[in-house]
C-alpha cells in the first residue's frame, strides 16, 4: 500500500503579499479553482494501491487544512501538527513513526503541498516505477528533466544507470542552487535534474537510514510522538521535544549519505510555484504575454504578471514586471527580482507588522472576519459564521462589542440571556460580559461588529468553553 505523506508546513514568503504566515501558499488557489494542497491530493486520483493521505502541517493552519481536505472529500489517516517548522527530515520522521504504530510497513509517497504537475499520466507512471524500486529497498527521489538553466532550484547529478531498472539511475550527488553559467552547463550536460523534493521509500527502510545517519533526530521525534496527544481530528506532538530537533532536510540528513538512493526522471510539467515569475510561466497569457488576474487595465504592457485582488489596477509602459495588489498591500517588482520579495517580508517581521503574518481577512474554524476600519479606540469588522458553527464562550477586559446582523440569523449569549437576532437586528456586549455568537441556520451568518475600548488586540480574550479545543485564537 502507498501512503501519500503531504508536507504542508511551509510559509511561502516569496509569494507575499498573496501568501502570509497564517495563510501560506499551499492553502491558496494560485493555479486553478482548487488550492495547492487540494491539487496535490486530487492529482493522485487513479493511482493504484493508494491509501488515505497523512498530512504534516503547522498547528496554526490546522483548521484550514482540515477544511480544505473536507471540501474535496479526502479523509486523512492523520493530520500531524508541528509546533514549529524543522524542515523535511523531521516532518518525514514524524510521519513514518505514526504509520509504523499500526504494525504495517507501507510505502511512503512524500509530496510537498505546493507544486504544479500538469501531466498526470506521466506522474502516475513515475509513481508506479518508484513503488517497485521502493519495495526493493531503494530510497527514491524524482528528478525533474530541466527545460531551462534555472538558478532557483537545487540539482541532482545522476550517476550510473541501474541495470534492469528502466530510466532510474544512482545518485551521484546533490548540488545547491547554481549561478546562471553553472546552470547552463548542467543543462547542456544532460547529467543533471532539478531537485523536486518528492520521494518514495518503504517506512522500515527510511527509519533504518534515519537511525544510521540522524539518530538524535529520530530519538527526539520518538519522544515528541510518545508525548503527543489527539486533539479533535489532529495529533499534537510534544512541543518541548520537537523544539529540541535541529532543522534538516531529508536531502542532507539521508539522501546525500545513503548508498540506497536512486533518482527517477520526471517530465510531467512540474513547477514548484516558488515565485511570481513561476506564476507568470505557468499562467494563461494574453497576446502580449501578460498574465492578468482580477480587475486590471493595461496599456503598452508586456511579459508581466498583474494580480488585482480587491480593486482596479492600471499599468502603463511596463515590460517584465510583477504587480500584486491585496486589500492591505501592493507589491511592484521586476520579474527578475521577485526572489528578493522575502527581504521585504524580513523587514515587515523586524518591524512587527501584521502584514507579514495575516491578511485583512483572517480565517477561523467557525468562519472568518475581515477588518474594515480601525483607529485607536474603535475597530469595525465584517464577520462570517458558517452554518451550525459557534464562537467560543468568552469575555474581554478592555473592549465592548456591538453586533448587527446583515444576513442570516444569530443566537447571542450575553451573560445569562440568550437572544435570537434576525436581519437588521443588533445586540450590545458590554465590557467584561461573558458572551457567545452562534449560527443556528442553514446559510452563512454575516454581521458587522463594532469594537470600542482602550485595547483592541486579539489577545484580549478569556475563553470559558470552545468546541474546537482552542486555548488561543
Instruction: Say yes or no: do domains 2-271 and 361-465 share a fold.
Output: no
Phi, psi for 420 (deg, rounded to 5):
-95, 120
CB crowding 244-272: b at 16 or more within 10 Å, else e: ebeebbbbbbbbeebebbbbbbbebebbb
Nearby residues of 368 by Cβ (< 8 Å), 6 or more positions away: 361, 362, 383, 384
The answer on pLDDT for 107 being more than 90 is: yes
Predicted confidence band at 473 (pLDDT cuts at 50, 70, 90)? very low
Cis peptide before 17 (omega within 30 of 0): yes
Write down the pLDDT at residue 469.
82
Q: Region 260-289: what's the mean pLDDT?
A: 94
Q: Provide the Cα torsion 220, 9, 100, 207; round to 10°.
A: -60
Sort 294 into a burial class: Cβ within 10 Å, 0-12 / 13-18 / 19+: middle
Predicted confidence band at 31 (pLDDT cuts at 50, 70, 90)? confident
Q: How many Cβ atoms from other residues are within 10 Å of residue 175's Cβ? A: 14
Strands 116-117 and 270-271 turn out to be antiparallel
Structure-block grid coordinates of residue 216: 538524535
Compute CA 229 distance to the chain's CA centroid, rounded to the nearest angstrom. Answer: 23
Write down the pLDDT at residue 10.
82
CATH of 361-465, one of 3.50.50.60, 3.40.50.2000, 2.60.120.10, 3.40.140.10: 2.60.120.10
Write down the pLDDT at residue 411.
97
Q: Region 457-470: what's the mean pLDDT?
A: 90
Q: Region 269-289: what's the mean pLDDT?
A: 93
Predicted confidence band at 471 (pLDDT cuts at 50, 70, 90)? low
Write down the pLDDT at residue 102.
87
Q: Tell me if 34 sits within 8 A of 42, measured CB to CB.
A: yes
Q: Give the domain ranges of the chain.
A: 2-271, 282-342, 361-465
Structure-block grid coordinates of residue 425: 437586528
Nearby residues of 115 by Cβ (< 8 Å), 6 or more positions away: 36, 40, 196, 197, 198, 270, 271, 272, 273
The answer on pLDDT for 130 being more than 60 is: yes
> Could you say which DSSP state residue 147 is in?
S
Which of 135, 112, 111 lies closest to 203, judged by CA? 135
Q: Tell me if 4 sits within 8 A of 328, measured CB to CB.
A: no
Q: Tell me if 331 sits within 8 A of 322, measured CB to CB.
A: yes
Please tell me the number of Cα atoms within 13 Å of 268 on its side-chain side: 22
Write down the pTM of the prediction: 0.89
The answer on pLDDT for 452 being more than 70 is: yes
> In which element (H, E) is residue 282 found?
helix 276-282
pLDDT tens digits, 162-206 = 877 778 999 999 999 999 999 999 999 999 999 999 999 999 999
Structure-block grid coordinates of residue 80: 500531524
Give the chain's end-to-end CA distance (angstroms, integer).
38
CB crowding 28-42: b at 16 or more within 10 Å, else e: bebbeebbbbbbbbe
Q: Cα angle at 107 between 200 and 100, to 5 degrees?
A: 125
Positive or negative torsion for Cα 56, 60, 64, 70: positive
CATH number of 2-271: 3.90.550.10
Q: Tell me if 158 sits within 8 A of 146, measured CB to CB.
A: no
The answer on pLDDT for 226 being more than 90 is: yes
Structure-block grid coordinates of residue 31: 493555479
% residues pLDDT > 70 (the chain): 99
Mean pLDDT, rounded, of the chain: 95
Which of 359, 152, 91, 183 lies closest to 274, judged by CA? 152
Structure-block grid coordinates of residue 266: 520526471
Nearby residues of 431 by Cβ (< 8 Å), 6 or more positions away: 396, 397, 398, 399, 400, 453
Amino acid at each position: 500500500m502507498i501512503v501519500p505523506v503531504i508536507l504542508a508546513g511551509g510559509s511561502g514568503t516569496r509569494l507575499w503579499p498573496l501568501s502570509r504566515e497564517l495563510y501560506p501558499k499551499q492553502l491558496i488557489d494560485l493555479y486553478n479553482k482548487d488550492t495547492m494542497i487540494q491539487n496535490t491530493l486530487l492529482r493522485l486520483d487513479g493511482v493504484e494501491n493508494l491509501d488515505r493521505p497523512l498530512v504534516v502541517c503547522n498547528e496554526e493552519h490546522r483548521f484550514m487544512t482540515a477544511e480544505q481536505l473536507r471540501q474535496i472529500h479526502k479523509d486523512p489517516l492523520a493530520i500531524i501538527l508541528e509546533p514549529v517548522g524543522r524542515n523535511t527530515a523531521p516532518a518525514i520522521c514524524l510521519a513514518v513513526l505514526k504509520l509504523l504504530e499500526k504494525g504495517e510497513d507501507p510505502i511512503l509517497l512524500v509530496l510537498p503541498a505546493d507544486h504544479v504537475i500538469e501531466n498526470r499520466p506521466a506522474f502516475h507512471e513515475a509513481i508506479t516505477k518508484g513503488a517497485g524500486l521502493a519495495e526493493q529497498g531503494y530510497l527514491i527521489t524524482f528528478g525533474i528533466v530541466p527545460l531551462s538553466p534555472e538558478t532557483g532550484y537545487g540539482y541532482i547529478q545522476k550517476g550510473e544507470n541501474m541495470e534492469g531498472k528502466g530510466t532510474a539511475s544512482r545518485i551521484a550527488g546533490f548540488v545547491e542552487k547554481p549561478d546562471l553559467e553553472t546552470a547552463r552547463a548542467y543543462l547542456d550536460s544532460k547529467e543533471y535534474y532539478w531537485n523536486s523534493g518528492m520521494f518514495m521509500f518503504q517506512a522500515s527502510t527510511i527509519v533504518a537510514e534515519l537511525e544510521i545517519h540522524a539518530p538524535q533526530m529520530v530519538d527526539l521525534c520518538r519522544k515528541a510522538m510518545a508525548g503527543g496527544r489527539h486533539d479533535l481530528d489532529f495529533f499534537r506532538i510534544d512541543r518541548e521535544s520537537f523544539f529540541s530537533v535541529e532543522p534538516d532536510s531529508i536531502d542532507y540528513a539521508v539522501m546525500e549519505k545513503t548508498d540506497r538512493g536512486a533518482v527517477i526522471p520526471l517530465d510531467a510539467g512540474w513547477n514548484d510555484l516558488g515565485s511570481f515569475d513561476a506564476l507568470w510561466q505557468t499562467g494563461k497569457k494574453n497576446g502580449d504575454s501578460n498574465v492578468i488576474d482580477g480587475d486590471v487595465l493595461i496599456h503598452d504592457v508586456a511579459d508581466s504578471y498583474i494580480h488585482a485582488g480587491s480593486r482596479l489596477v492600471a499599468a502603463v509602459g511596463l515590460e517584465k514586471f510583477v504587480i500584486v495588489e491585496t486589500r492591505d498591500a501592493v507589491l511592484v517588482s521586476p520579474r527578475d527580482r521577485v526572489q528578493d520579495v522575502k527581504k521585504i517580508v524580513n523587514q515587515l517581521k523586524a518591524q512587527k507588522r501584521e502584514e507579514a503574518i495575516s491578511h485583512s481577512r483572517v480565517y477561523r474554524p467557525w468562519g472568518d472576519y475581515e477588518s474594515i476600519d480601525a483607529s485607536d479606540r474603535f475597530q469595525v469588522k465584517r464577520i462570517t459564521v458558517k452554518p451550525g458553527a459557534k464562537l467560543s464562550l468568552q469575555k474581554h477586559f478592555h473592549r465592548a462589542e456591538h453586533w448587527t446582523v446583515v444576513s442570516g440569523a444569530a443566537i447571542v449569549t450575553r451573560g445569562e440571556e440568550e437572544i435570537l437576532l434576525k436581519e437588521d437586528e443588533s445586540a450590545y456586549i458590554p465590557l467584561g460580559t461573558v458572551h457567545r455568537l452562534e449560527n443556528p441556520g442553514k446559510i452563512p451568518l454575516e454581521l458587522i461588529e463594532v469594537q470600542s475600548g482602550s485595547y483592541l488586540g486579539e489577545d484580549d480574550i478569556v475563553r470559558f468553553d470552545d468546541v474546537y479545543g482552542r486555548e488561543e485564537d
